[in-house]
Structures are given as structure tokens and as C-alpha cells.
Structure 1
Amino acid sequence: MKSTRKGSFPMTVQVSFSGDYRSLVTPETSQKINAISEAMNARTSAGAEFLGWKNWPSEIDSQLVERIQKTAEKIQQQADVLVVIGIGGSYLGAKAVLEALRQPFQVTEKVEIIFAGHLVSGAYLKNLLTYLDTKEVAVNVISKSGKTTEPAIAFRFIQDYMEKRYGQEAAERIYVTTDAEKGALLDVAKEKDYARFVVPDDIGGRYSVLTSVGLLPIAAAGHSIDHLLAGAKRAEGELATVDLEENPAIQYALVRDHLYSTGYPVEISAIFEERLKFVQEWWKQLVGESEGKQGKGIFPASVQYSTDLHSLGQYVQDGKRMLFETFLKVASVEDDITMQLAENDSDELNYLAGKTLHTVNDAVQQATAEAHLSGGVPLVTLEIPDLSEDTIGYLLYFYMISCAYSAYLLEINPFDQPGVEEYKVNMFRLLNKPGF
């Protein structure tokens, strides 16, 4: 099956598995998809109070976008480094976009973006503070409540560093993204008179990349958030149809649901361009927290080919038949290099002379697909045209809407994460937090 969206901005989905996609398009599945779509549009589906992301690209306030851009320009003027403090959706979305847009070994960002608060490591934080001594610094702390342990620890150290180094000027260099009405971080921001941006009440962390949560760091780095939002807005419009033959997000959801129900509970995202590595990491949080509940859900994993063909590739080819692969392919790349002819063909590579490495990479993809299909691994292929802001914006929205459909097909609320709290209770008890 191949689905190509019409217009100048293609998003193609190619699906190969042991069966026929058309066999999934039944009156029953059509009825399910229509019911899911109608419930989401009417805001009556499970977790509907967190569906604000669904129409966000088309409804975002232009004044908010302008304020984000002006703030990004201020950060660029005052700082060499922006430290973004957050965990989960408060950092993964921005990190995914920044890595996808960054050419290898090219430092083109107007401000270096460094993340903190996404792990608990004294060595990481201590060395970060030492590194900052040689830079001009700004900080963007992102937390709905201000009490999430990992970012709260990082902010305590970094806030202290900023105040000791910059004195009263620190307040001009710290930017807060938090709840509009309440929370410990909001109280601090008011007390210190920090510039504030809002985490929308109706958008959960893993769906928040296109809000101030992700847009401010992305804009500070110098990337076009206008183009990022334009790509997402195009996706919002094109993927609103419930036509099972035309909508690739629904097709992806249906195939995933079919494979899950026929004994494939593990999905491996496979990339062939390293720049997409953190898109995979963001996708793993999106899928893992949205679907992994009530003893249900596809387990999301990731590999980077061809690197992992020389490690995990053996298991994928010949291991237990419980997984399917989703290739995330890029049709064209900005930079490439052509294989040269060597006088002494000792490495026996002259057969590649005149071929670009993108062509070789395409052959790796096709060879891997053929091998894994022959080994009994179902394969889904998502192909995007390039690695531009427009395309990445489209891809992020594609994943979010498809994930929502996938969770609803499993009769799961895509927008809560009750299991995340379990480790926190144990951690508080082990650290003797009052009340635990």
C-alpha cells in the first residue's frame, strides 16, 4: 500500500506486511475510525480535556508567536548558551527538532541550546556549571508545577549560579514556561519578575512541542518556528479526513493495531539518518506514555541503521517473532558526497565509484527491508521528503494524531500516565521526603 498526500508537500506511507491493507478497511474499522474522529472533534472522547494540541497549529495566537520570536531575539543578544531545564515532554520535543535540523559538525545555531533537569547526575550538572563560566548564559525552565524532582533539582543549582554570577541582572536572563494560574514555579517567577510563558492546560507534556514549551528554545537557536508551525498546520488540515484510503495517519494506526492484535507487541523505529535519533526518542515517550496502560499497548523501541545492523540486526533478522519495524526514511538530503575511483582497488569499493552515499544508503534500506521481510518481520515505511522545518512540523503532528487513533483503537485514554507516579512515590520514601 502506498498513500501520497496531494500537493507540493508530500507525506508518503508505504506499508508491507503479511496481509493486505485493504483487508483492514472493513465496515467495522470504518465505523470505529469515524466514531473516534467524531468523539475527538466533539471533545467527548476519553481524556478530551487534553485535546488542545489537535487544532493548535491552526488556532495558535499570532501574538504569542511574535512574542516568542522577540524573546528569542533577546536571548540571542544576551547569551551564547540557553540552558533549557525540563524532563519528558518539556525537553524531548525541542531536542528532537533541534537535532533533526542540525547538520552534522555544523554549529549554525545562533544560541547553543544545552539541556538540564532531564536526568539526575551530579557529574553532568557540575561540569555544566563549569562550562557555563566561559559563556554568556540565559535559562529557560519548563515545568507545569515546578515540583517535578529532576528539573527542580537542576533549577535550584542553576538559579543559584545565575544569581551569584549576574546579581540582579539574573532576572533578565531567566525565562519560565509554566502553568498560567498556579504552581511553585509560577510563584517564583512572580516573586523574581521572570518573563513567563504558559504551558496550556489542555495540552499534555508529550504533545506540547508546538507550544511555548518547544517553540522558545527552537526559535532561540535560530530556526523558523513559522515554517515549523506551517508544516504542522498543513498536517492538521490534510490528516483531518477519515478516508481510510487517503489518510496515512489513520493507515499507520490501523496497521499498528492489526499487527498488535496478531502477535506483534513491539514496534522498532528504524532510521537511516542520525539526525532523526531524537525524533525517535520523542516518539518513544509519545507512544509509551499514551498507549502503555491496562496491560495493553505496543512497546516502542528504536534502532539506527546501518550501525545497529551490526548488533541488534541479528535479533531482528532471526530472533523471536514478536516485533515489527517502522522505517522512517528521508527522500532527499541537503549535503551528500560521491564515491571516488581508486587506482588501487584494495578495498574493492570501485564498484561504488560515481554513486552518492545517499544512493548507497538507499540500497542499505532496501536490502534491510528485503532481508527482514524474508525473516518474517512485518515492515511499515514512513517516508518524508526532507529535513526542513516544514517537514518536521508535519511529521510531529502526523505522529501525534496517529498515536491518538492508535490508543483509542485499544480503548485507552491517550493523555494520562498513571504509571509514571509509582517510581516517584518510592523515590520520595527512599529519600525520606516528609509525608512519604
Structure 2
Amino acid sequence: MTASHTQVANPLQALAAVQQSPWLDFIRRSFVEDGSLARLVQTDDVRGVTSNPAIFQKAMGEGTEYDPQIKTILAEEIVSPGELYEKLAVQDIKKAAHVLAPVYEQTKRRDGFVSLEVSPYLARDEKATAHEAARLWADVAEPNLMIKIPATPESIPAIRETIAAGINVNVTLIFALSAYKAVVDAWLSGLEDLHKKGGDISRVASVASFFVSRIDGKIDAEIDRRVKAGDAEAEALKALRGKVAIANAKLAYVYWQEIIQTPRWKTLEAAGAQPQRLLWASTGTKDKAYSDVLYVDSLIGPHTVNTLPPATMDAFRDHGTVKETLGTGIDAARHVLAEAERLGLNLDGVTRILVDEGVTSFAEAFDGLLGSVATKQKALLGEKLTDIKTALPADLENAVQKGLKDWCKDGTIRKLWNKDASVWTGGEEAKWLKWLDTVDERLAHVAELESFQAEVKARGFKQVLLMGMGGSSLGPEVLAETFGKHEGFGHLYVLDSTDPQQVATYAKKIDPANTLFIVASKSGGTLEPNIMLAYFHDLAKKALGEKVGSHFVAITDPGSKLEALAKKEGFWKIFAGEPQIGGRYSVLSNFGLVPAAASGIPVKLFLEDALRGVRMSDASVPPAQNPGVLLGTILGVAATQFGHDKLTVIATPQIADFGAWLEQLVAESTGKHGKGIIPIDEETLGGPKRYGTDRLFVYLRLAPEHRHEQDEAIATLIDAGQPVVNITLHSKRQIAQEFFRWELATAVAGAFLGIDPFDQPDVEASKVETRKLTDAYNKTGKLPAEQPFAEHGPFAFFADKTNAAALKGDSAEAILKAHFDRVKAGDYVALLAYIERDAATREWIQHTRLKIRDAKTVATAAEFGPRFLHSTGQAYKGGPNTGVFLQITADDAHDLPVPGENYSFGVVKAAQARGDFDVLAERGRRALRVHIRGSLKDGLAELAKAVHQAV
């Protein structure tokens, strides 16, 4: 008997006699490097290798064999887990390709291939699939590479495009004859396209991977179910067990035989084209009742490939039977499929389900692979990354895990990075997502910032004064407070107030002749920075004369009024903002980086730290391992499902100012349409009895300090069952990572809340009311008259009719008591003080808020106006109606004129306070305003006493 018709010493080698090629469905670095693959090629005539995410996950996610290369990559580059996986995979594929190169040459490019899959996430995206196929082909740059593309309806055009580009393609996930026919047409069309372009079609190889055993798995399960249920056709059904998949494959082979006889193929063949071979995939036997080589023995025929997992290859080597079986029993195969149709086994429906399940299963395997890589990458980077640890009650933890699984299943993080507005409301969100790219973009242009920094240092400025509001000021303030003064650079001051006393204080801090002035305004039309600019430009001109412009820098969006003014006045520099980044997401753009550079912060190192945060939160990192998605899911789930909507920020003193920036980001992004997360910053920790059930604590800890005074208090809260998120920074500069993590987390939380996290519909309402009042002042020389509803000592009390009616009392204490008696569980109290923000007033407001917290067991916010208008003011007006507000205004001891305007700083501040209060009242908020007449210091002392008595 010949080798082709009997068992031989090595059936794998004998397959050559029937022109079938055995390929190995497995790859691992050690397997290639230790010569195991080469031995299989030599002793078993193995002629190719296929890979998939599940195979790579086992290889990369287990053991340490990849660690040396990972360490080398991470020492030289800042990469995402997805990029890291690709670098590892490409090296494996290249090495395997080199082992198989002799086979490729000996078989005249028919065999010797190694397959690498496009991202399973792209299975339903034609353009992205074709783009990634071309990119991977270029990255591997080996002629015996095959790019695996799934045979989804969406990817069929990508198969044609890839073949037409001269790229070898392994079409995977084919289950149905109809899908195979579409694949064949795409292959032929691709070759025709390439031929028309004058390309060399002889060098383009392709296989069509027809999946086998999974079909029987589905069909047999349905047969067993119906037999068990007593189906009248039980015997006929049982006769089909284990036969449908092979019959389906045989008819696909019949179709292939027909195709290679067509004039269409003959024309291409004459031009040198190679046939697309059928490849039998999923050939491992799942059902123990069947032979472990069933799907090898039954599918042997000329011009085909069988890709075998290691166990199946071992089994076939041991007891496989080599004879041509593909072309036999065709009538029986047709009968099997006819019977399956007659009995309602719905092969077409089964194959459609299998495609969907295959796409899902490959994506899940890819999630597992990338999750493993991310975990290993984080471990090897160690203290180069910030850490997050959670202590959540069991029900909240379970809900968070479900939220993460839903994001994983729906691929939502990839949609977010693709700037898909359907992540949120499907509105205009996509227009505001450039912050995702800004770190890469600024690093690409870091020379501009470094040049500016060198010039600033060379000019020897003694101070840097930044004038801005909200997103333009709070990020720079964090940098100033966190990093302090740098040698050779001026002290960075940040002014974000219209309070005339505060403006005067900053004017005294600086020497205009030695100060660099930075005015930051995205729109270039915001009232506060414009009047600050007018005042300090006038001040500087008196000291500098015509050279005044050389001391001024503007940061603003292109085409703004500020840009035009800066050009007119001869400003030294104008830095462009990015119109598609909102102010509160702008800290890692020029709005944060220009002040950083001016103050001496090493901007490239700072951006590189930020980039580590970006990469670890990018689209390739599954939600459970993605720091930004994890935090955002906790925020969103805690607020929407458990009422933990008071985000309480605790921080190590050295990084404590981060909370001020965080307040704006979270409040302005989430607080709207009656929903929202209310951030609580700088509220000194108390014991567990001081808190209700509406808190989520975030503890930002700077690790080099061995023990912090907050550590014990946080541990006590955890023991008491409060939800706590611990975030550890290993250096101050890692604040850059946290900027990005929180931006992403806030966007994710917005998705859980079902709102657009990038608009601020209620901020404008206060601006409109302020504008009305300043316009009235310009016309009449005074603000419209207002009448207090009560006056007691130095206090005048103001409220709208509804609030005034609820606040009857014959003393200040009685009015305040009536106001605070309206506080209920789950509410928060906000003190809104339109006074100078200095050490004394900050101590006063902290002392007062804690008294209220401890008496009422509610969250408290301590805010200074007008700065909070561009921050938490959005949530106070547009968020949930759970706030009880005490606005504090006072007579100005001194006022300052605004050059070129009729109104003064004091008038603007008064208009802002009144506009703010009017909107709070209009929104039905529980709001009371107390105005202090006379001495501010004495008035605050008396007000504190009255509040203490009232609560």
C-alpha cells in the first residue's frame, strides 16, 4: 500500500503526498527560540503557523519569557499596552517567519506562512480593518506573513482592498457556504484590481479558513436537546450527530473545485496568480464521543491546509489516517445537509450565530490578552505610574464590576477614543474631545515651549502673574502651589478674582518692571480676565512705557478678541488654544503648559509623565485594567445607583491644591439637567459619625511621605464601611498623570449619568444676569436698587420672595436657623463668599463649614466668588436641587477702577454676586444672602458666632 492510503510512521509527513499542508495553530516565543518550531518543520513537515489572541494571551500573560523585551521597550519608549503587545507579537511573528522562510522558498510561495490577526475589535469596521492590515504588513515586513481578516459582511470589502494592495490574506471565521462564496469573490476581485494596476499577482497568497468543529458543537447540542425532549424525529436527528460540519466543509471544497475551472480564474492563473486554498480551522475535537482526529482524517484533499492545535497535531501524528477523503461521499454530504434542513436544524442561522460568537470570543480573548499585558506593564513600570486601590462596600463593588463588564462588552472605551458621541447623548460631544490627543500633540511641539522657557529665564523675570478664570486659572494654580518657585525663574502668581482688595494685594506682590504677565482666556471675551488685563496693562505701562507689550503673553483660541488685542498692543508672545478643548479639560494644553514653562517646570518631563497616564488609559486597555475607566465607573455608578454623589477629596498637603482644579472638572462637567456629582474639597476629615450615606471619598496621597495624618482617619472610614478610593502618587510630577486620569474618568462618569460632560449650560445664565447689571451701571452710574428683607446689626439679608417667606426671624441667628433648618439628609451646604481669598478668610470659611457639617451631618462646600462661578457654580444651578446656599457679600474697604470702563472692580464683583444669586433663586434653590456692612473682619467674626448658634 502507498503512503497516501495507509497509516505510516508519521502521518503528518504523509500529507504531502495528497497535497495537503499541515499548519500549526500555536505560537510562543520560547517555542520558536528553543528550536521546537524548526524541529516540527524538519521532522513533521509542518508548513505554516497561525496565531490568534487566545494563543498570544497564554504566551504573553503567563511566565516571564517576555519580560526582558518588555523592560527594554519600556526603558526607551512610553507605549500603551496595545502598542506593547504589538511590538512583542511582531517580534514573535518575524522570528517564526524566518524559521518558515525556507519552506516559503522551496514551495514557491505556496506554504511557509505565519499569520497575524488584525484587531478583533475591528471586525465590523471595513475601513479600519483595511488600514490595520496594511499597517501590520508594513510593521512585520516579511514576505511570508499572512494577515488574518474575519469574513464578516463588513470586512469582505476590506479583504478585496487588502488583496489589491498586494498583501497576503488569511480569511478567518468562515462557517457558511454563502460567506465562503463572498470571500472567494472578494479574493478574485482583489487580484483583478491588483492586476489592472500592474501589480505582481504571483506574489499574493491567500487561504480561506473554514471553521469546522464549532458547527457540530452547535448542531449536536440542538439534536441532543430535541432527542431528550422526545422529538418524533429522534432517530433521524441522532443519525446527523457529528456529520453536519464535515458535510458543510465538503461542499465548500466542491465549490472551490468549480471556481478553479471558471474563465475568471483561468485568466488570473495565466497571469501567474496562486489559488486561494481552503484551510480547515477549529479542527480540535470538542466531543469526547468522537475521534480526536475526526476533523483531520475526514478533510484530507489536494490544495488544502489543515491548521492543527498542538494536541490535535500530536494525536494525528500518533494515529491519524492519511487518505483523500474530501472528494468522497459528496452525495452523502448533500443528503446530510438536506436532512438538516428538513429537520429544522437551521444551519444558516447557526452559522450566522457562530460568526457573531466568533467575533465576540476573539474580542474577549483580545481583552484578556491586552489586560494581561497591561497588568504586566504596570508591574514592570512600578513607581513610574500612580496607583489606585479601592475599598468599596460589596454591593457597590459588584455594581462597579458590572459597569466595567458592560463597557467591555460594548467596546465603549474604544468608542470614546474614536470620538463617538453615542457614548454620551449623541449630541455635540465629538467636537470637544481634542484633550484626548493634546499630550501627544504638545510633545510633538515641545521645542516651542522649551524655547519660550529658555527666553523667560534669560530675561530674568522676578514674578509671573497669570490672569484667568476657571480652566484658565485653576490648572496653573495647582502647578504653582504644588511645585513652588524654581531656581532662575520668577514666582508664579495666579489671579482669578474681581475682588478689588484681592487685585490690590496681587498688585503689591509684583514689581511691574520685572514681571511677566500672562492673560489666559479661551474665548478672549470673558469679563474677568479682560478687566484684570486692563488694570495690570495700565499699571505696567506706567513702569515700562512703550516696552509694556514685551512683558505680556496671551493664551487664547485663534481668532479671538484677545488675540486681536494682543497683536495690536505688541504682546511678546501669543500662544494658541485648541478650540475643540473646553477650558476645564485644557490643563495639558497651552493653558497649563505655558504657565508651567514660564515658572520653570521641566515641560518635556512633565508631558512625558502625563503621557504615561494617557497610554495606560487608552483604547487598548480593557475597562477593568484601565485607570481612567475604572475611576469613572466608580464615580458614575456610586452617584447614580447608590446616592454617593458627594465626591469628597482628601489630599496630602503637598498636592492639596489639586482638589480646586478637580472641583471645576467634576462639577461643571456633571452638574446639569438635575443630575450631577458635587465635589467637596478641603473639608477636614472627621470621624465616621460626621458623615451620612452620600459620600464617596478619594484620597490623593503623595507616597514619599511615610505616614500622613490623614492615613489613620481614612482607615477608620474604610472600617466604618464608607466607600474610599486611594490614589498614590510617587512624585509630585505625577500630578500630570492624574490630570489626564481625572479628565477621562469625568467623561466616563458623564456617560453613566447620561449627560454631555463637555457643555456648561448654566454658567452662561450667571454671565447674562451680570451683564444686565453692569450695563445698567454704565447707563445710570449705579446698580439697580435692592431691598433687604431683614437687617440686624451689621447684616442685611436678601432673598427672593419664596425664600424670604420661609426665613422669618427677629434676629440674625433666627434667620440663619430657619435657613439651616431646611437642610435634609443627603443635602449639602455651600458657603459662597464674595470677599478677598486670603489666609484669614480661608481659615474663617473652613471653621464655619466644619461647624455646619458636624451639626447637620451633611457635606459642605466653601467657595470664594467669583472664582467658583466658573467652577462649581454650574452644578449649584444645574445639578440636583440638594444644595442649601449662604452667599456672603461685604462692603469693599477699597475699590479699584477698571481702565477704560465706567464701572469698577467692586461694581463688577457686586454684579456677579447678584447675578449668581438671581439665578440660584430662579432655579428654585434654597438660597440666602447676607451682606456685611462695615468692618469685614468684625462682620465675619459676628457671622460665625451667629451661624454657630443657628446650627
TM-score by length of 1: 0.83
**Match in the other structure for 1:274:** 653
Counterparts in 2 of 1:107 and 1:317: CA distance versus 1, 3 Å: farther
Alignment of 1:284-363 (within 5 A): 284-303=663-682, 308-309=684-685, 313-314=686-687, 317-333=689-705, 358-359=706-707, 361=708
Report the Cα distance in structure 2 between the residues aligned to 1:112 and 1:318, rounded to whole angstroms: 39
* Cα RMSD for the two superposed structures: 2.4
Count of residue correspondences? 391
Question: What are the ranges of 5 or more consecutive residues in structure 2 without an aligned counterpart?
Answer: 1-374, 422-426, 780-914, 916-951
Determine whether 1:55 maps to 2:460. no
Determine whether 1:219 maps to 2:564. no
Q: In the alignment, is the contact (CA less than 8 A) between 2:403 and 2:637 conserved in 1?
A: no
Report the Cα distance in structure 2 between the residues aligned to 1:30 and 1:109, rounded to whole angstroms: 51
Report the Cα distance in structure 2 between the residues aligned to 1:173 and 1:410, rounded to whole angstroms: 45
Determine whether 1:167 maps to 2:167. no
Determine whether 1:263 maps to 2:635. no
**Match in the other structure for 1:342:** none
Structure 2: which amino acid aligns with 1:70?
Answer: S
State the identity %: 23
**Match in the other structure for 1:80:** 462
Counterparts in 2 of 1:127 and 1:319: CA distance versus 1, 3 Å: closer
Alignment of 1:229-244 (within 5 A): 229-240=607-618, 241-244=620-623
Report the Cα distance in structure 1 between the residues aligned to 2:418 and 2:444, rounded to whole angstroms: 25
Q: In the alignment, is the contact (CA less than 8 A) between 2:519 and 2:554 conserved in 1?
A: yes
**Match in the other structure for 2:763:** 420
Select which of 63, 69, 72 maps to 2:450.
Answer: 69
Q: In the alignment, is the contact (CA less than 8 A) between 1:81 and 1:135 conserved in 2?
A: no
**Corresponding residue SS for 1:320:** coil
Report the Cα distance in structure 2 between the residues aligned to 1:242 and 1:133, rounded to whole angstroms: 50
Q: In the alignment, is the contact (CA less than 8 A) between 1:33 and 1:242 conserved in 2?
A: no
Structure 2: which amino acid aligns with 1:230?
Answer: E
Measured after TM superposition, the shift of residue 294 of structure 1 is 1.1
Structure 1: which amino acid aligns with 2:457?
Answer: Q
Structure 2: which amino acid aligns with 1:19?
Answer: A
Measured after TM superposition, the shift of residue 80 of structure 1 is 0.6
Per-residue CA deviation, residues 309-328 of structure 1 (Å, 9 max, x unaligned), is 3xxx15x5333321121111
- Between 1:11-20 and 1:32-41, the stretch displaced more is 32-41
Per-residue CA deviation, residues 245-267 of structure 1 (Å, 9 max, x unaligned), is 31122121222222212121111
Measured after TM superposition, the shift of residue 365 of structure 1 is 3.9
Counterparts in 2 of 1:26 and 1:377: CA distance versus 1, 3 Å: closer
Determine whether 1:372 maps to 2:744. no
Per-residue CA deviation, residues 173-226 of structure 1 (Å, 9 max, x unaligned), is 11111121x222111112122221001111111111111111111111111110
**Match in the other structure for 1:13:** 388
**Corresponding residue SS for 2:661:** helix
Measured after TM superposition, the shift of residue 374 of structure 1 is 3.8
Report the Cα distance in structure 1 between the residues aligned to 2:715 and 2:398, rounded to whole angstroms: 22
Measured after TM superposition, the shift of residue 60 of structure 1 is 2.6
Structure 2: which amino acid aligns with 1:371?
Answer: T
Report the Cα distance in structure 1 between the residues aligned to 2:403 and 2:470, rounded to whole angstroms: 38
Determine whether 1:97 maps to 2:473. no
Measured after TM superposition, the shift of residue 286 of structure 1 is 0.6
Measured after TM superposition, the shift of residue 242 of structure 1 is 4.3
Q: In the alignment, is the contact (CA less than 8 A) between 2:512 and 2:540 conserved in 1?
A: no
Structure 2: which amino acid aligns with 1:422?
Answer: A
Report the Cα distance in structure 1 between the residues aligned to 2:498 and 2:470, rounded to whole angstroms: 13
Report the Cα distance in structure 2 between the residues aligned to 1:33 and 1:193, rounded to whole angstroms: 55
Counterparts in 2 of 1:254 and 1:148: CA distance versus 1, 3 Å: same
Per-residue CA deviation, residues 295-340 of structure 1 (Å, 9 max, x unaligned), is 1111111236xxx23xxx15x533332112111112214xxxxxxx
Counterparts in 2 of 1:332 and 1:28: CA distance versus 1, 3 Å: closer
Structure 1: which amino acid aligns with 2:649?
Answer: S
Select which of 166, 179, 184 maps to 2:561.
Answer: 184
Per-residue CA deviation, residues 343-387 of structure 1 (Å, 9 max, x unaligned), is xxxxxxxxxxxxxxx33x2xx444213322344421111112221
Structure 1: which amino acid aligns with 2:725?
Answer: V
**Corresponding residue SS for 1:53:** helix
Q: In the alignment, is the contact (CA less than 8 A) between 1:32 and 1:409 conserved in 2?
A: no
Counterparts in 2 of 1:125 and 1:370: CA distance versus 1, 3 Å: closer
**Match in the other structure for 2:413:** 37
Select which of 394, 397, 402 maps to 1:26.
Answer: 402
**Corresponding residue SS for 2:657:** helix
**Corresponding residue SS for 2:492:** strand
Structure 1: which amino acid aligns with 2:418?
Answer: A
More helix by share: 2
Report the Cα distance in structure 2 between the residues aligned to 1:139 and 1:27, rounded to whole angstroms: 46
Determine whether 1:112 maps to 2:491. yes
Q: In the alignment, is the contact (CA less than 8 A) between 2:617 and 2:741 conserved in 1?
A: yes
**Match in the other structure for 2:751:** 408
Report the Cα distance in structure 2 between the residues aligned to 1:148 and 1:57, rounded to whole angstroms: 26
**Corresponding residue SS for 1:25:** helix
**Match in the other structure for 1:385:** 730
Report the Cα distance in structure 2 between the residues aligned to 1:317 and 1:73, rounded to whole angstroms: 53
Select which of 137, 142, 150 maps to 2:515.
Answer: 137
Counterparts in 2 of 1:402 and 1:188: CA distance versus 1, 3 Å: same
Per-residue CA deviation, residues 366-409 of structure 1 (Å, 9 max, x unaligned), is 4213322344421111112221x2x1211111111111111112
Per-residue CA deviation, residues 88-118 of structure 1 (Å, 9 max, x unaligned), is 010111111232223xxx77461111122x1
Measured after TM superposition, the shift of residue 28 of structure 1 is 7.9
Question: What are the ranges of 5 or more consecutive residues in structure 1 without an aligned counterpart?
Answer: 334-357
Counterparts in 2 of 1:108 and 1:317: CA distance versus 1, 3 Å: farther
Q: In the alignment, is the contact (CA less than 8 A) between 1:30 and 1:244 conserved in 2?
A: no
**Corresponding residue SS for 1:431:** helix
- Between 1:259-268 and 1:72-81, the stretch displaced more is 72-81
Counterparts in 2 of 1:190 and 1:15: CA distance versus 1, 3 Å: same
Counterparts in 2 of 1:134 and 1:25: CA distance versus 1, 3 Å: closer
Q: In the alignment, is the contact (CA less than 8 A) between 1:15 and 1:379 conserved in 2?
A: yes
Select which of 481, 486, 504 maps to 1:126.
Answer: 504
**Match in the other structure for 1:350:** none
Report the Cα distance in structure 2 between the residues aligned to 1:147 and 1:191, rounded to whole angstroms: 16
Measured after TM superposition, the shift of residue 56 of structure 1 is 1.6
Q: In the alignment, is the contact (CA less than 8 A) between 1:269 and 1:300 conserved in 2?
A: yes
